[in-house]
Amino acid sequence: MKIDPAMKDRLIMTGAAAPAVLGVGVALLFTHDLVVIGAVGAGLALVSAALSLTPPVAAARIRHLRRRYPKED
């Protein structure tokens, strides 16, 4: 089974964004304190931002954008 390169790039980008998206939901499962939920969400948003700046994620984002918006001559 071969994975499509476009799908692989989407998975890389989604994986980098996952901590920020899942952080608040996981915090809600464990506590209902809004301060703790905000702190956990903010911390995981920073982790997600740091992951999105790594070279593999940046390269996947550039490849995705080049496929989506091809160069016009």
The pLDDT-based confidence of 3 (bands split at 50, 70, 90) is confident
| Ramachandran sector of residue 58 (left: φ over 0; alpha: ψ -120 to 50; beta: rest) | alpha
Residue 41 exposed, middle or buried by CB count within 10 Å (0-12, 13-18, 19+): buried
The pLDDT-based confidence of 54 (bands split at 50, 70, 90) is very high
pLDDT at residue 5 is higher than 90? no
The residue behind tokens 């999105």 is: 52
**Model pLDDT for residues 9-38, shown as the tens digit of each residue:** 999 999 998 988 888 888 888 888 899 888
- Read off the DSSP letter of residue 73: -
45: number of Cβ within 10 Å? 16
